[in-house]
Amino acid sequence: MSDPHTARLLISCPDRPGIVAAVSQFLYSHGANILDAQQHSTDPSGGEFLMRMVFHLEDLDVTRAQFERAFAEVVARPFTMNWRVAYADRRKRMAILVSSTDHCLLELLWRVQSGEFEVEIPFVISNHDDLRGVTESFGLPFYHLPVSKENKAEQETQILGLLEGRVDFIVLARYMQILSPEFVAHYPAKVINIHHSFLPAFIGANPYKQAYRRGVKLIGATAHFVTDDLDEGPIIEQDVARVSHREGVGDLVQVGRGLERTVLARAVAAQLEDRVLLIGNKTVVF
């Protein structure tokens, strides 16, 4: 469980000397105690600098709003930083979109129910009605919004209406629909998808069948942010399992489902803990 008196500071900016010193000195000067600090430079001679700091804020000498305004003026502006602060006592809100397979949905709901994931789920949305009972057994609202080629734009508008102002990010827990660029534009780097292959291999539909036809010896799963390009968004988490010629397509699906559950859960955990930073179409996961 997170300490409610902590905050996480995430920073990306052009690399130059003095960044760590400036941030650390600012936190110290306002009574914040640094609990953890991680950093990464893509190229010390002129690349991008990324940092994640966790600090105790119970002894801050200013309000949170004053702290953020001062940081923006004193530290962020001189170093041209992109930055944000996340407070542990504010739970993130995560919407789940799903179709008709339940394994990824159940994995997320179990982890929330057990207290492993500190997150609010305002509702689950699906283009099928199959998982209503499962969802409602966890005490969550379920919205069935069928989709077809004819009503896709209208259905996405309905989803956006439900999401507006109620979520921080979205998880596609095997939601077998391609989101439109208009939808993605509303939530840039805030929609996490689980793809049932080790990307960039086997993009698109039926990856297990594609893998079987190629006689692969490893199958995998990939969690990534959704972009306009199908299955090509920044990768957050991946894993693989060894298989052989003995496994048919059905066997690959069974093995793959375990990977999908684990990989998606890891990606969601990283998002909840503010460990993911973007650099173009790549991620740094602290």
Confidence of residue 201 (pLDDT cuts 50, 70, 90): confident
Residues of the chain with CATH 3.40.50.170: 92-285
- In angstroms, the CA 224 to CA 96 distance is 15
Q: Tell me which amino acid residue 168 is.
A: D
CB atoms within 10 A of CB 5: 15
Q: How far is CA 264 from CA 155, 165, 174, 269, 283, in A?
A: 25, 24, 10, 9, 15
> In the prediction, which pLDDT does 1 show?
52
* pLDDT for the residue numbered 98: 98
pLDDT in tens, 232-267: 999 999 999 999 999 999 999 999 999 999 999 999
Architecture of domain 92-285: 3-Layer(aba) Sandwich (3.40)
Domain limits, CATH 3.30.70.260, in the chain: 6-87
**SS3 at position 232:** coil
Per-residue pLDDT tens for 10-55? 999 999 999 999 999 999 999 999 999 999 998 877 799 999 999 9
Q: Show which residues are catalytic.
A: 231
pLDDT tens, 134-168? Answer: 999 999 999 999 999 999 999 999 999 999 999 99
What pLDDT score does 171 carry? 98
* Mean pLDDT across 184-195: 96
Question: Which CATH fold would you assign to the domain 6-87?
Answer: Alpha-Beta Plaits (3.30.70)
Q: What average pLDDT does the segment 201-219 reach?
A: 88
Taking the C-alpha atoms of residue 256 and residue 197, their distance in angstroms, rounded to an integer, is 8
pTM reported for the whole predicted model: 0.93
Burial of 103 from C-beta contacts in 10 A (0-12 / 13-18 / 19+) = middle
Could you give the percent of the chain with pLDDT greater than 70?
99
